[in-house]
Chain A
Amino acid sequence: MPHFPKPAEGSWTEHWPEISLAPVDYSDSVDPAYYELEREAIFKRTWLMVGRVEQLPRVGSYFTRELQVADTSVILVRGKDKQIRAFYNICRHRGNKLVWNDYPAEEVSGTCRTFTCKYHAWRYELDGRLAFVQQEGEFFGLDKSEYGLKPVSCEAWQGFIFINLDPSAAPLVDYLGEMGKGLEGYPFHEMTEVFTYKAEVGANWKLFIDAFAEFYHAPILHMKQAVKDEADKLAAVGFEGLHYDLKYPHSMVSSWGGMSPPKDLNMVKPIERVLRAGLFGPWQRPNISGLDELPPGLNPSRHPKWGVDSFHFFPNFMLLCWAPGWYLTYSYWPTAVDSHIFESSLYFVPAKTAAERLQHELAAVTFKEYGLQDANTLEATQRSLKGRVITEFPLCDQELLLRALHQASRDYVKEYTDGTAAR
């Protein structure tokens, strides 16, 4: 008997007939040939979230992103006209990497007036135009207007900067569709105190999304993090989402959150009782507008016990909005079939007092304790999947987002291979 109502079909998964109920084939997470297809079909053709507009506060602010999955590096920069643009990080003279410090593979950020190549001092304006060629007269009929930086499609949505390596991609707002629209108006711009975590994880990128796209595991894997009585109760009850939604290829799960604040202070750890904060963040919401009337996409079932909504924007961006008024992002950047760089940022309304800062600190520390358990579990999963002794796995109704993810990956790859075959 479900604690929260399910759709008339009897389950969330069956509510979307296009989602198969069959066991899911996880060869897609261990097959090197399939990974090569994903690079082309997905990562070179979809909108990828690369950062926030707050990272480019001034004219000339820039940062680079290393996209190993596409064998490329991209510069994001705010121009004199305040526009944010993206360019391939390649000097047009002889292909040297344009913006980098001591280590070519590392990402950098800063502020500059122009970009100057270290190699022969070719210089580019912030809008990509080639401004200066060293010993220009030595070249043969070189037209500088034809040698600007190669642009990458770049658009912002609610302050999130996205790029798309496909120059003919449909606009970002169309790609994010209804799932994105339902979040518009949330005060992301007020939440500018950032904690960013980074790790290289020895697992396929989809496996970590799987881990964070279901809460079915939470009462078990993270059992030791709750006080004993509470952990027993959580494990006995298990997890059920308040609501699920699928706007293919994107999806979301809405979850309750009884701990912010807890019904009974004995349910939480001593440090949480004193600081009045925990995994779900501070127990009181920050004093900003935009949190009383949430956009329609958040807490879609309008449940009074709502705690957090977790959105997966295909392929590799997750966004979690927490009831106490802060948000969290996850990005998964593949580096090989069995590894990726995981990045996560927590965003709060800037603390005005030490007490608020310590609340944020506790949320961040708690996130890391959980994240370490999650990440290590994935390496174990990758190792056991690799032998392909078992390839198909049954997923439950609380794992709908995982089915959607693996299905979207297969569909993108199929569309790409069909298209390649037709050409």
Chain B
Amino acid sequence: MALRPAESAEALQPAESGEALQPADSAEALQPAEALLPAEFADLEPFSDWVLETERERYAKRLATSMDQMQAFYDAAFPRLAEANSYLEDYPLGQPIPKPQRNLLLLMMSLVLVSFPVEVWQQPRVPDSGATYLDLVVEPKF
């Protein structure tokens, strides 16, 4: 039933390591970047590296990001959360959502995740959690 942890971890790797290694990608980076988010949320483009498909990727990024960087993302995205919710009302789930709008939702899912380090812990990891892990192996798709 559950996605096997090993399998989903493998599934992530090609995307991540691939991006970093392919020379074509660095060439593209010199071109004006294609907008990932709707024009109304263009101010959040600098944080589009938080547009991540799975919880596992989002959580890994949280653990690998400094508090300063997470605070900057939170400070920019949190004030736009209510507006994003209203804006996305025109894109009901359960039917195909255009990519920029879908990305906006994924970005806000990352905001939900970083709200804990920023609002509560003042550190990326959950205190008193040691080496314990709790992997999300089945995640609702939209």
> Measuring CB to CB, which residues of chain A are less than 8 angstroms from any residue of chain B?
51, 55, 63, 65, 103, 106-109, 193-199, 201, 221, 224-225, 269-271, 274-275, 342-343, 345, 350-358, 360-362, 364-366, 368-369, 371-373, 375-377, 379
- B91 contacts across to A, CB distance below 8 A: 354
Contact yes or no, A368 B136, CB < 8 A: yes
Chain A CB within 8 A of B105 CB: yes
Given A198-B134, A376-B128, A376-B130, A365 contacting B85 (CB threshold 8 A): no
Selected from B88, B120, B131, the residue in CB contact (under 8 A) with A353 is: B88
A28 to B136, CA, bound (A): 30
- B136 contacts across to A, CB distance below 8 A: 195-197, 364, 368
Contact yes or no, A201 B132, CB < 8 A: yes
Contact yes or no, A373 B6, CB < 8 A: no
Contact yes or no, A376 B2, CB < 8 A: no
Within the complex, the shortest CB–CB distance from A116 to chain B, in Å, comes to: 21
- A-B CB proximity, top 10 nearest: A354-B88, A196-B138, A372-B129, A271-B115, A63-B1, A355-B85, A376-B132, A376-B130, A199-B134, A372-B126
Within the complex, the shortest CB–CB distance from B27 to chain A, in Å, comes to: 34
Selected from B2, B88, B120, the residue in CB contact (under 8 A) with A224 is: B120
> Measuring CB to CB, which residues of chain B are less than 8 angstroms from any residue of chain A?
1-2, 4-6, 55, 78, 81-82, 84-85, 88-89, 91-94, 104-105, 108-109, 111-113, 115-116, 119-121, 126-140, 142
A353 to B89, CA, bound (A): 6
Within the complex, the shortest CB–CB distance from B65 to chain A, in Å, comes to: 16
- A350 contacts across to B, CB distance below 8 A: 93-94, 140
Contact yes or no, B85 A354, CB < 8 A: yes
Given A197-B137, A199-B134, A361-B112, A224 contacting B121 (CB threshold 8 A): yes
Contact yes or no, B140 A195, CB < 8 A: yes
Contact yes or no, A103 B112, CB < 8 A: no
- B139 contacts across to A, CB distance below 8 A: 195
What are 11 A-B interface contacts by the 8 Å CB criterion?
A103-B6, A106-B4, A196-B137, A197-B135, A197-B137, A274-B82, A350-B93, A353-B85, A360-B140, A362-B115, A365-B113
- B92 contacts across to A, CB distance below 8 A: 352-353
- B120 contacts across to A, CB distance below 8 A: 224-225, 269, 369
Within the complex, the shortest CB–CB distance from B116 to chain A, in Å, comes to: 5
Contact yes or no, B135 A199, CB < 8 A: yes
Within the complex, the shortest CB–CB distance from B136 to chain A, in Å, comes to: 6
- A51 contacts across to B, CB distance below 8 A: 1
- B4 contacts across to A, CB distance below 8 A: 103, 106-108
A45 to B89, CA, bound (A): 51
Contact yes or no, A343 B2, CB < 8 A: yes
Contact yes or no, A198 B121, CB < 8 A: no
Within the complex, the shortest CB–CB distance from A310 to chain B, in Å, comes to: 19
Closest chain B residue to A198 by CB distance? B137
A345 to B135, CA, bound (A): 11
- B142 contacts across to A, CB distance below 8 A: 351, 357
Contact yes or no, B105 A354, CB < 8 A: yes
A270 to B78, CA, bound (A): 9
Selected from A197, A199, A269, A372, the residue in CB contact (under 8 A) with B119 is: A269
- B81 contacts across to A, CB distance below 8 A: 271, 274-275, 358
A55 to B137, CA, bound (A): 14
